């Protein structure tokens, strides 16, 4: 009986000792979790600029990221930089909206353009790497094929091919618009194209007349100007015809 009591007592003491060690270990782990190096959570305040810039009218910022600088970075760095720029862009949009609500001037609005330019350059670099990878592995670019098609109103446009649930020849709703008596060959579309081409022709004609009149005034004011540079600047203008016009002569005897 005494032996059994001693065994139970030893087991109880050992169990208490193990439970005490477990509690101490848990407290140490809990204490260690209090010390970390992660970024402090700022909740919705991350959508706003730093408070020291709220009253500033001019904030000094750098330029946008260039393509040559992004090409030497790894994919991981580009991924991190993309999200940094994304947070910056969201913050700038929020501050711009807040300034409009408060009827205040948004300082340095070109920051949005610089961030967007940097993000566009990152997309360009990633696209270049994807194309190089697919060309090396498969011999193709890996991008969605694009072909020149005619829209429903008869204008040319770029069409990116995509997958559909049914084939093209079975899609009667799509094929019907491209039949001989469809939208493209309808009277309304033909009238629209005729008026559209007429408008384009008038705009080109007016642009040519503006350039011709501008060259005439330049010859009138600067008769000794370099003709080669003038032809390079206005290749669609007949310089010789402009020289013979009355508007280019002025009140002096021309030297050419």
pLDDT of residue 103: 84
Q: Is 88 exposed, middle or buried (0-12, 13-18, 19+ CB in 10 A)?
A: middle
Which residues in the chain come in under a pLDDT of 50?
A: 1, 23, 26, 28-33, 35-36
Domain layout of the chain by residue ranges: 44-137, 146-178, 187-244
Helix (H) or strand (E) holding 158: strand 156-160
- What is the model's pLDDT at position 129? 93
192 phi and psi angles, rounded to 5 deg: -65, -45
Q: What is the CA radius of gyration of the chain?
A: 36
The predicted pLDDT at position 32 comes to 45
pLDDT at 37: 52
Per-residue pLDDT tens for 28-56? 444 444 544 555 656 666 777 676 667 76
213 in Cβ contact with 244 (< 8 Å): no
For residue 166, what pLDDT is reported? 86
Predicted model pTM: 0.53
Across the chain, what does the average pLDDT equal?
79
């Amino acid at each position: 009986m005494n032996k059994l009591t001693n065994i139970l007592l030893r087991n109880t003491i050992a169990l208490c000792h193990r439970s005490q060690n477990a509690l101490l270990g848990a407290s140490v782990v809990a204490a260690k979790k209090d010390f970390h190096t992660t970024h402090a959570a700022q909740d919705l305040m991350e959508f706003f600029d730093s408070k020291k810039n709220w009253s500033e009218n001019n904030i000094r910022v750098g330029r946008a990221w260039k393509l040559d600088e992004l090409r030497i970075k790894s994919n991981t760095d580009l991924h991190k930089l993309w999200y940094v720029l994304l947070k910056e862009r969201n913050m700038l949009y929020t501050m711009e909206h807040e300034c409009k609500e408060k009827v205040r001037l948004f300082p340095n609005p070109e920051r949005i353009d610089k961030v967007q330019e940097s993000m566009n350059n990152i997309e360009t670099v990633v696209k270049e790497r994807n194309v190089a990878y697919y060309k090396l592995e498969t011999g193709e670019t890996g991008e969605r094929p694009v072909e020149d098609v005619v829209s429903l109103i008869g204008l040319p446009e770029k069409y990116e091919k995509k997958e559909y649930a049914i084939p093209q020849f079975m899609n009667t709703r799509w094929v019907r618009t491209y039949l001989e008596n469809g939208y493209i060959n309808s009277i309304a579309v033909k009238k629209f194209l005729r008026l559209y081409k007429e408008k384009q022709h008038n705009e080109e004609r007016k642009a040519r007349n503006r350039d011709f009149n501008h060259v005439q005034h330049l010859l009138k004011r600067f008769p000794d100007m370099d003709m080669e540079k003038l032809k390079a600047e206005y290749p669609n203008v007949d310089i010789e015809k402009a020289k013979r016009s009355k508007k280019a002569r002025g009140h002096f005897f021309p030297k050419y």
